[in-house]
């Protein structure tokens, strides 16, 4: 038994205010002290380090210890963030912070703890009135002029996870934190953890509750993204909240925008942190939308709209005779390109292209650049994450292939699955008025800009060191060809490239305009390759993409041996 690990665990136990995690940790310490090897390994996993506070804040499994999400870790994070805000604040008024939370286990507890600690540190603290979607919190930071915002959510992670997402106001305009703020906050958190126990941190119940009018204002602003056109009348569609917090707010927005009420997936409509009908509450995961597609078949629906559990992402299902069950989920790139096209057309019609831009992450479809150039807009490719996309100069619209869309940057500087849903309903309704569908719009896009098709190849590893070895090997000896296609250039973003901050990613540029981007996953033990091909027609592009996928799969297989 590692005595240092045991001492850390006992010190943690002594300050833990949560009866459930105290019981859990006490039992684990007892079994580890009795030479239970599994308990010793578990204890080491929980106490050998701590969850890293980075540009996504904190996220991890619930449980006791500094490498889990719990009340001790959240208290340290709240106190550290408060110290950072007080250090940056001016002399005229105390800094202000607004807090939101979703329906996951312990979200409300973590939010209330944070409110008491922020108020105890002298901050003006505003707690949202109830569990609400992440976009409402992002909206509140801007709408209330707050210096910071905290959203307690793990978004679409597995049921046993929770997280702590941080936004900054002022010059950051309500975007998620980036360097150097993340490191500065992390340093304050570490100092708090080293110097004080949770019981020594000052608390106060003198915090405010945000009024219902704030939610009303979000609803009104979001409904204005795409008021229902004539084609919306009688439209049959299905909505699922994926056991999250999206429905109550989305329903109000849909009604305010004038769209017909959807048929709902009732088993997934209400918040439930156990996520009983899905093993992984992410619309991208296989099977996650099966109930929605079943409901759509029964209702003879025209499309399906799905939000993830905190409603910051959007998935769309459309009828497809070639798909099993007659329905398929549109890819994030397909949705992203259609919404980007919608934004660009509107900007051109309003003569608002000057100084305006579209943006997407590097791993998302390059088709957005073609749209921007066609309409005289600037284009920005950013690092992965809306913390970067939201900061693109002159931004009108941004997206990421992982089902994230920023359609109204003057209102919410983050991905928003509810405003994106309104935009998709607007597109579908306009097409419907002309006797067309979203599938027809995808075909028109290909005819206008060329066929952009994308795919992913990934390998999951048990040892993260394997990913490092593969990336090192690719840098030292990149392939000269992938299948029958020459690799014309290799761009290494590890030391910064194209003016972007350094990130662990390689881009292989292929003859004929294709590309492969390789990067470690930021949330899973995976190495991922993003494949993009452009062709004059969809069939040609699809054929080239299939060949590229086979070549990249073979490359990963060889490198992982």
Residues forming the active site: 155
Q: How far apart are CA 474 and CA 518, in angstroms?
A: 9
Contacts of residue 150, defined as CB under 8 A and 6 or more positions apart, other chains included, come to 57, 78, 81, 97, 98, 99, 100, 111, 114, 137, 164, 165, 166, 167
Q: How far apart are CA 74 and CA 66, in angstroms?
A: 10
Q: What are the DSSP E strand ranges found in 58-95? A: 58-61
Contacts of residue 172, defined as CB under 8 A and 6 or more positions apart, other chains included, come to 181
C-alpha angle with apex 339: 402 to 422, nearest 5 degrees? Answer: 95
The dihedral built from the CA positions of residue 435, 441, 443 and 446, taken in this order, carries a sign that is positive
Q: How far apart are CA 421 and CA 419, in angstroms?
A: 5
CB 451 within 8 A of CB 536: yes
Q: How far apart are CA 469 and CA 463, in angstroms?
A: 11
Torsion from C-alpha of 123, 129, 133, 135, nearest 10 degrees: -50
Distances (CA, A) of 400 to 314, 384, 397: 11, 8, 11
Phi and psi for 374 in degrees, rounded to 5? Answer: -60, -35
CB 264 within 8 A of CB 239: yes
Q: How far apart are CA 239 and CA 408, in angstroms?
A: 21
Give the DSSP H/E element, type plus range, for residue 358: strand 357-361
């Amino acid at each position: 038994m590692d005595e240092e690990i045991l001492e850390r665990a006992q010190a943690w136990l002594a300050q833990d205010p949560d009866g459930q995690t105290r019981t859990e940790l006490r039992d684990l310490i007892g079994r580890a002290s009795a030479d239970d090897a599994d308990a010793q390994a578990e204890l080491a996993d929980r106490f050998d380090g701590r969850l890293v506070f980075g540009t996504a804040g904190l996220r991890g499994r619930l449980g006791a210890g500094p490498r889990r999400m719990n009340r001790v870790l959240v208290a340290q994070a709240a106190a550290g963030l408060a110290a950072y805000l007080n250090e940056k604040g001016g002399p005229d008024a105390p800094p202000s912070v607004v807090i939101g939370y979703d329906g996951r286990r312990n979200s409300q507890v973590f939010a209330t703890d944070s409110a008491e600690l922020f108020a105890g540190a002298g901050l003006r603290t505003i707690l949202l009135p109830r569990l609400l979607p992440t976009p409402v919190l992002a909206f509140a930071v801007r709408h209330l002029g707050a210096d910071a915002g905290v959203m307690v959510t793990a978004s679409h992670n597995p049921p046993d996870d929770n997280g702590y997402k941080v936004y900054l106001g002022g010059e950051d305009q309500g975007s998620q934190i980036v360097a150097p703020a993340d490191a500065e906050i992390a340093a304050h958190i570490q100092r708090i953890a080293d110097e004080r126990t949770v019981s020594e941190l000052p608390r106060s119940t003198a915090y405010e509750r945000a009024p219902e009018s704030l939610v009303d204002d979000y609803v009104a602003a979001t409904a204005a993204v795409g008021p229902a056109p004539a084609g919306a009348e009688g439209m049959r569609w299905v909505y699922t909240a994926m056991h999250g917090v999206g429905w109550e707010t989305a329903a109000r927005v849909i009604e305010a925008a004038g769209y017909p009420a959807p048929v709902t997936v009732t088993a997934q409509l209400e918040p439930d942190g156990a996520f009983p009908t899905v093993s992984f509450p992410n619309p991208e995961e296989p099977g996650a939308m099966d109930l929605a597609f079943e409901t759509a078949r029964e209702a003879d629906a025209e499309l399906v709209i799905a939000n993830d559990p905190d409603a910051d992402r959007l998935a769309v299902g459309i009828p497809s005779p070639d798909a099993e069950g007659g329905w398929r989920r549109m890819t994030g790139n397909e949705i992203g390109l259609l919404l980007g096209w919608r934004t660009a057309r509107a900007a051109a019609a309003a003569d608002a292209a000057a100084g305006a831009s579209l943006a997407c992450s590097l791993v998302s479809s390059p088709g957005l650049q073609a749209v921007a150039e066609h309409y005289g807009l600037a284009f920005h490719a950013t690092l992965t994450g809306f913390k970067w996309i939201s900061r693109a100069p002159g931004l009108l619209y941004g997206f990421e292939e992982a089902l994230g869309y920023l359609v109204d940057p003057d209102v919410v500087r983050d991905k928003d699955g509810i405003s994106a849903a309104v935009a998709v309903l607007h597109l579908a309704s306009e097409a419907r008025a002309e006797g067309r569908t979203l599938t027809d719009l995808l075909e028109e896009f290909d005819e206008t800009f060329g066929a952009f098709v994308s795919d992913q190849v990934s390998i999951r590893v048990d040892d993260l060191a394997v990913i490092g070895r593969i990336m090192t090997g690719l840098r030292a000896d990149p392939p000269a060809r992938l299948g029958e296609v020459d690799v014309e250039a290799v761009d290494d973003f590890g030391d910064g490239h194209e003016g972007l901050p350094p990130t662990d990613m390689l881009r292989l540029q292929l003859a004929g305009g294709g590309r492969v981007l390789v990067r470690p996953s930021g949330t899973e033990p995976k190495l991922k390759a993003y494949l993009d091909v452009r062709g004059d027609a969809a069939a040609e592009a699809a054929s080239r993409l299939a060949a590229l996928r086979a070549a990249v799969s073979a490359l990963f297989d060889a490198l992982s041996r």
